[in-house]
Structure 1
Amino acid sequence: MRAPFQVLVLPYRMTGSIIEYAILKRADLHYWQGIAGGGEGEETPLEAARREVFEETGLTESCKLVMLDSITSLPVEHVVGEFLWGEEVYVIKEYSFGVDVSDFELQLSKEHTDLKWVCYEEAFRELKWDSNRTALWELHKRLTRMREKGDIGHEQPISNY
């Protein structure tokens, strides 16, 4: 059963001193976004994020997720098309993560027709949803500060949301 929340995961990689972000083009609606999907059953947002990353890019559990503070509310009708969780549930939360894919090759699922690696500015322009842009802004600020401090590669593992 579909859980009443969404996850968003933004893949990134370090290329020398440049941070690049992968954006994915949806096969059905033809717009650019991060990895996105809903929770299933009793999954936590972290578990759902790991599963969605695997389903949409083939990355395994070993990928390093960075939990973001960005959480947004989405209208249920925009996510699942109906009041799936009852007439009193109008919005669900979307939890955001980054995923370091510097050492991995991404393999697209049938959900997406294209993937491109872009700089922050281009990703910000191309992403369709405000929630994706807000999470991207936060991730970029965090990674930029970590790089300035020399902490890139030392991200703490995620425990729970």
Structure 2
Amino acid sequence: MTGVHLRVDNRLIHGQVTVAWTGSLGVHRLVVCNDGVAGDELQRMLLPQAARGLPTEVLTVAEAVTRDWGDDVMVIAKDPDDAFRLVEGGVRPGVVNVGNVAPRPGTNYTMVTRSIAVTVEDAAGYRRLAAAGVPVVAQLMPRDKPADFTALLDRKGL
């Protein structure tokens, strides 16, 4: 699967995605990719409703890597492990955009940007993505300049 727009955002579908990003990228379909979310019937029902009319699927990683949607889809991974598993399974995004990653209660995290919380385990996941040859950037909104995410991790000692 090439040409896919891949975003790590643990809030999944929200206004920044459905308005700013889809319009900027010209995406016409959203795919939420996370095994836990895909196994939760309530989230499978509510997330497409949050997509403001955009066709939306909620899939496991295994389901997602078997699909080929073309270049008008945005895949939203909940965490860097999901993103790495997608890349490992054959998804070839031009870049992985790390957007909003809110702190998870009970975790020891570092705020890498004002909107991205990273644990040591998450940092290892982002580095695996970069090592797989996929550029990883932090970019909250389309108008923001993308920042090299591994450099941000380096600055924070992660």
* More helix by percentage: 2
Between 1 and 2, higher relative CO (CA 8 Å, sep ≥ 6) is seen in: 1
TM-score where L is the length of structure 2: 0.26
Radius of gyration: which is bigger? 1
TM-score where L is the length of structure 1: 0.26
* More strand by percentage: 1
